[in-house]
């Protein structure tokens, strides 16, 4: 949530102190943490897709990026650029664990902090100078960086400025594992030295629209007045672009709302039509999504299963329960029935399967239990207790425990990759 009323300075003239914390190649770091025996010391790592070249790259190590590999690139293209790379799946459980740990560290440093995504956060340290011994912002950022490393094992880069936009832009100058602070009063000069492609939100389409009008660099954009930009792109977007190229941002750091949904999906290495294999993959997604649900202390009333077929069309089925649930057993039982319903209608091959949990709440009891009082509960306390016990084991020892079919499939996949 943001507002437009934030000034880069307080009423007494003191500058705001905003930090942007960004985990360096988080999915790569988490992949190594999830499988250190295989990946420790490996420099060329692609996360996402499969060794066969299907799918897209979710993240790449900095060594791979030196070959031109980028996120969202087809895995086959990435492997042609960097054929020696090791391809690994997205370490979803480890990413979620480390994201929660990062959020906990950040919250300890400022009462005004917010996760912007799983791998980045903002802190507003304005007014906390006494807590941090009156030190310069860059020194506080370095101490935060060390704290994150000590408590999560993650390397992070940190940018600092008097507003969120410039702080985020500064982070790119800190990577990897560095700190870069734009001093108060130098925001305009800092942004003036950037390329158009560096401006957050100014993508290829907008740059092309500017190029067609003769604007090819930051100096050309900043030379335009508001009225010209408004006439080209409309009042709201023109004003936004005028402010953006000058590093002006009125947004404030605020805590985010509770999740409205929890989901997990996977793209298969090969298209699948057999129901048994689809059920096995679905079970893995349920375990992942339900675990995330429990870690947030939430329950879900609506369960949705999605299939993406070879024609890239998505089909889904949902069911809303009389009372909210969170255990693997109950969620999978419902999801399995939804999958069977999807497969009864068509038998084409699937390339992706996913499960989504919505209708979230913080209590296991429905708001009204009139009719449901007459029937047994869908989910018993022992179901939740068993799932919680498994969560504790995974949190301490990793994914050494889980449904047999999922673990066996993971073992077979690993043997196939190693052969």
CA–CA dist 94, 92 (Å, integer): 6
Q: What is the CA angle 150-166-204, rounded to 5? A: 110
Nearest to 210 by CA among 241, 187, 240: 241
Catalytic residue among 37, 84, 101, 120: 120
Under 8 Å between Cβ of 293 and 357: yes
| 177 contact partners, CB below 8 Å, separation of at least 6 | 24, 145, 155, 156, 157
Nearest to 299 by CA among 394, 377, 226: 377
Cβ contact 59:74 at 8 Å? no
Other CB atoms within 10 Å distance of the CB of residue 190: 17
Check whether the bond before 382 is cis (ω within 30° of 0).
no
Q: Dmax over Cα atoms in the chain, in whole Å?
A: 72
Which helix (DSSP H) or strand (DSSP E) does residue 122 occupy? strand 120-124
SS3 of 32, please?
helix
- Can 120 be counted among the known catalytic residues? yes
* CB within 8 Å of 17: residues ≥ 6 apart: 124, 125, 126, 128, 129, 137, 140, 160, 162
Positions marked catalytic: 120
């Amino acid at each position: 949530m943001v507002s437009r009323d934030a000034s880069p300075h307080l009423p007494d003239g003191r500058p705001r102190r905003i930090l942007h914390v960004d985990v360096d190649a988080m999915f790569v770091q988490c992949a190594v943490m999830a499988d250190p025996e295989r990946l420790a010391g490996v420099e060329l790592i692609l996360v996402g897709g499969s060794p066969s070249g299907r799918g897209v790259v979710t993240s790449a190590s900095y060594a791979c990026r030196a070959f031109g590999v980028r996120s969202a690139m087809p895995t086959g293209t990435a492997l042609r650029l960097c054929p020696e790379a090791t391809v690994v799946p997205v370490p979803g459980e480890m990413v979620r664990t480390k994201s929660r740990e990062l959020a906990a560290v950040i919250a300890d440093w400022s009462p005004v902090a917010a996760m912007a995504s799983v791998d980045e956060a903002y802190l507003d340290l304005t007014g906390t100078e006494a807590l941090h011994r009156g030190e310069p912002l860059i020194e506080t950022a370095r101490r935060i960086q060390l704290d994150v490393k000590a408590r999560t094992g993650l390397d992070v880069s940190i940018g600092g400025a008097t507003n969120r936009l410039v702080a985020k832009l500064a982070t790119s100058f800190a990577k990897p594992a560095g700190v870069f602070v734009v001093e108060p009063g130098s925001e305009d000069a800092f942004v003036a030295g950037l390329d158009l492609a560096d401006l957050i939100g100014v993508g290829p389409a907008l740059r092309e629209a500017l190029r067609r009008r003769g604007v090819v660099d930051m100096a050309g954009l900043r030379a335009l007045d508001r009225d010209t930009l408004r006439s080209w792109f409309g009042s709201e977007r023109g004003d936004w672009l005028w402010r953006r190229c000058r590093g002006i941002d009125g947004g404030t750091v605020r805590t985010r709302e509770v999740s409205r949904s929890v989901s997990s999906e996977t793209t298969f290495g090969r298209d699948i039509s057999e129901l048994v294999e689809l059920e096995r993959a679905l079970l893995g997604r349920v375990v992942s999504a339900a675990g995330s649900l429990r870690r947030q202390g939430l329950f879900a009333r609506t369960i949705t299963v999605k299939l993406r077929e070879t024609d890239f069309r998505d089909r889904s089925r949902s069911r809303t329960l009389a009372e909210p649930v969170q255990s693997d057993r109950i969620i999978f039982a419902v999801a399995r029935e939804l999958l069977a319903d999807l497969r009864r209608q068509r038998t084409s091959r699937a390339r992706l399967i996913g499960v989504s949990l919505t209708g979230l709440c913080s209590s296991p009891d429905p708001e009204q239990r009139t009719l449901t009082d007459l029937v047994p509960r869908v989910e018993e306390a022992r179901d939740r207790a068993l799932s919680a016990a498994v969560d504790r084991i995974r949190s301490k020892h990793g994914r050494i425990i889980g449904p047999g079919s999922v673990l066996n499939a993971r073992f077979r996949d690993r043997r196939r990759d190693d052969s």
